[in-house]
Amino acid sequence: MPFVVVDTSISLPATLSPRGMMRRFWIVLALGALTYEVEHGRLELEALSEQAEHEHKGGAVRGLKRAQEQFEEASDRRAELLEILPDGTPDDWIAIGSKPLFDEYERKLREIGSQLDPALREQDIPLLRRQLEAVCVVAAPPFDPAGVPALTKDPKDDPILYTALLGSADLLIADDKHLVPDGHEERWHHDDRTVVALRFNTLVSERLNELRWGEIDGSWLGLAHRH
């Protein structure tokens, strides 16, 4: 189960451009998010069922009903995606998020989002942020961006890298020269933590080279976000 942090150099084109490999990778992450949600929803249901059985409290029963609805809805969306995705598509790639990462994504949407999607409107930005948050089902421990140590040559990249380090990510995926200086792969260390940063092309050719990319349609992302 790879845990990954995705830089805005990947997440912006993945969420704004309906075609291309980055959008297809985003669908893989959306499937991983749904799998994670279903697995943890099942655990929540079991806990609430036990609580309701022993306590017979209305609140517990109401919470159980809501948890059941959320579990079934996520299960249905996951099943729909699995039915159309090519065999062998991994469902265990989990994205890690943080408030600084989400804030940077929103800032970039406002600054350059219209270059990727000329139809982007101001009112679309909150929804896109919520969709990013939905894909990043695991949260890094909270931290103050002002207290992030200088790690790269670009201070704006430091909170993204720090998210990956603090969140114990396996991979940081970025097409950014400050995060992956050699254009291929970089191993970052801070304190006792380590993360491998790699370019998207390296991810495709070396980590997900068996995935049948050509059989994934970017429009399927709507299934993952349907409510």
**Are 43 and 135 part of one and the same domain?**
no
Q: What's the pLDDT at 57?
A: 54
**Final residue belonging to a domain, choices 52, 69, 84:** 84
- Residue 110 CA from chain centroid, whole number: 20
Q: What would the pLDDT profile of 68-85 be if each residue is shown by its tens digit?
A: 888 899 999 999 999 999
The model's pTM is: 0.92
**Are 92 and 195 part of one and the same domain?**
yes
Tell which residue, 122, 98, 108, has the closest CA to residue 14.
108
56 φ/ψ sector (left φ>0, alpha ψ -120 to 50, else beta): left
Q: What's the pLDDT at 55?
A: 64
Please, is 143 exposed, middle or buried when counting C-beta atoms within 10 Å of its C-beta (0-12, 13-18, 19+)?
Answer: middle
Calpha distance 227→219 (Å, rounded): 16
The letter for the amino acid at 164 is A
**Are 13 and 98 part of one and the same domain?**
yes
**Are 146 and 64 part of one and the same domain?**
no
Q: What's the pLDDT at 224?
A: 85
**Are 18 and 79 part of one and the same domain?**
no
Q: What would the pLDDT profile of 128-148 be if each residue is shown by its tens digit?
A: 999 999 999 999 999 999 999
Q: What's the pLDDT at 66?
A: 82
Structure confidence at residue 60 as a pLDDT band (50, 70, 90) = low
What average pLDDT does the chain have?
Answer: 92
Q: Which structural domain, as residue segments, surrounds residue 62? A: 37-84
Number of domains in the chain: 2
**Are 46 and 25 part of one and the same domain?**
no
194 φ/ψ sector (left φ>0, alpha ψ -120 to 50, else beta): beta
